[in-house]
Amino acid sequence: MSRRHQFANLLEMSGSLAAVLKLRARAPVPWLSILTYHRFPATGGFECDDGVVDVTPEEFERQIACVKRHFNVVGIAELCAFAAGRPLPKNPVAIAFDDGYLGVYETALPILKKHNCKAMVFVATAVTTERLVHWWDRIAYVLKTSTRREMLLEYPVPVRLDLTGSRAQAIRSLLLLVKLRPSLDLPRFLSELSRAADVPWSAEFERRFSDQLLMTWDQIRALQKAGIDVESHTRTHRVLQTLSSSDLRDEIEGSREDLRRELGVPARALAYPVGYPLGWSSPVRAALERSGYEIGLTNGTGPTPLDGVVDRFDIRRQTVERDLSNAFFLTMLALPQFAPIHPVPSPSTTHGGG
């Protein structure tokens, strides 16, 4: 058990956690916490990336009940008003889902309705329309199902992967390559991966896989009708900092127009794929402003301070990790400086693999 978890248990057993929660409910707090979820364990039988499984349905319902009991849940309207200079409600917390997994509709929505809880969902629009599989799930599927003991990728650089033991490290190496490689031709890379691993992949198979894993537009419209905010996660979930100017424009402007076409309203917010913060001179920032987005959200970056001037394109979020005890979950909300923060990887670590 980590020291953070030990500290949370100590707070709970001593009664200090309950006292902090009561104090936070009454006194102004200096931060906003946004909790980010992705996928529930059930995947329809396909091998997927285990790294985006956050909670079981039971854990999620317990956490939503805790949030509703102790905090004021806010949505996109409140966040955009906050970015424009207006105050948030007292003791604010927000709930977010990234990537458009089917479990949001099948599992999360009934729980959110039951507890009358707001949430926001960020979808990759072209992935949804074209019934694609997210690149990290495709990488995981190919490496998990390959019968090879070793494979050699030629593109974008020669990489030899040892598949004789645990394949988790090989998967992490390729995920990092996609996240950090500038101007990567992703379809070419994924096609090369299937060839090197000797794992067949077809458009028909991808559609069946996607239908088992991701929401359709009809299901997303049902979320919107239920009061869930639906916003942009780009078109194909490419890491924006790695793209050319034309591809960047397509991902940012294109996803906003896709949402307007499918849902009747343009996106106000964009959650950055992978969640890296933007530099002040980043072309991504300029593209967001030009396209009409009001806010942009990072991930794994901790709470957003409420004192001082807010950077509307750096609204921070906290990733929910697996198997969190009630004590630790509430501690990271009551005292968010104890929540884990994910470091941004260095480009020097891009080319992993055995």
Give DSSP secondary structure letters for 248-297. Answer: HHHHHHHHHHHHHHHHSS--SEEEPGGGPPPPTT-HHHHHHHHHT-SEEE
CA dihedral 204, 208, 214, 217 (to 10 degrees): 70
**Percentage of the chain with pLDDT > 70?**
95
pLDDT digits (tens, 9 = 90+) for 42-69: 756 678 999 899 999 999 999 999 999 9
Minimum mean pLDDT among 10-24, 49-63, 286-300: which range? 10-24
User: So what's the pLDDT on residue 334?
Assistant: 86
| 6 pLDDT higher than 90 | no
Residues contacting 313, CB < 8 A, separation 6+:
278, 285, 288, 293, 295, 296
| 223 pLDDT higher than 70 | yes
Averaged pLDDT for residues 107-130: 98
Averaged pLDDT for residues 202-229: 97
- The C-alpha atoms of residue 249 and residue 14 are separated, in whole angstroms, by 53
Averaged pLDDT for residues 179-184: 95
Contact between 75 and 242 (Cβ < 8 Å): no
Domain spanning 3-132+206-342: CATH superfamily: Glycoside hydrolase/deacetylase (3.20.20.370)
- The C-alpha atoms of residue 117 and residue 333 are separated, in whole angstroms, by 16
User: So what's the pLDDT on residue 8?
Assistant: 84
Q: Is residue 32 classed as helix, strand or coil in its secondary structure?
A: strand
281, with CB counted inside 10 A (0-12, 13-18, 19+), is exposed
| 284 pLDDT higher than 60 | yes
User: So what's the pLDDT on residue 345?
Assistant: 60
User: So what's the pLDDT on residue 43?
Assistant: 58
User: So what's the pLDDT on residue 134?
Assistant: 97
Instruction: Specify the higher pLDDT residue, 41 or 119.
Output: 119
User: So what's the pLDDT on residue 316?
Assistant: 95
| 168 pLDDT higher than 70 | yes
User: So what's the pLDDT on residue 196?
Assistant: 96
| 351 pLDDT higher than 50 | no
User: So what's the pLDDT on residue 348?
Assistant: 36
User: So what's the pLDDT on residue 46?
Assistant: 75
208 band by pLDDT with thresholds 50, 70 and 90: very high
Q: Which of 121, 55, 98 is nearest to 320 (CA)?
A: 55
Instruction: Specify the higher pLDDT residue, 335 or 45.
Output: 335
User: So what's the pLDDT on residue 1?
Assistant: 65
352 band by pLDDT with thresholds 50, 70 and 90: very low
272 band by pLDDT with thresholds 50, 70 and 90: very high
In the chain, domain spans: 3-132+206-342, 146-201
The mean of the pLDDT values for the chain is 91
Contact between 14 and 20 (Cβ < 8 Å): no
| 350 pLDDT higher than 90 | no
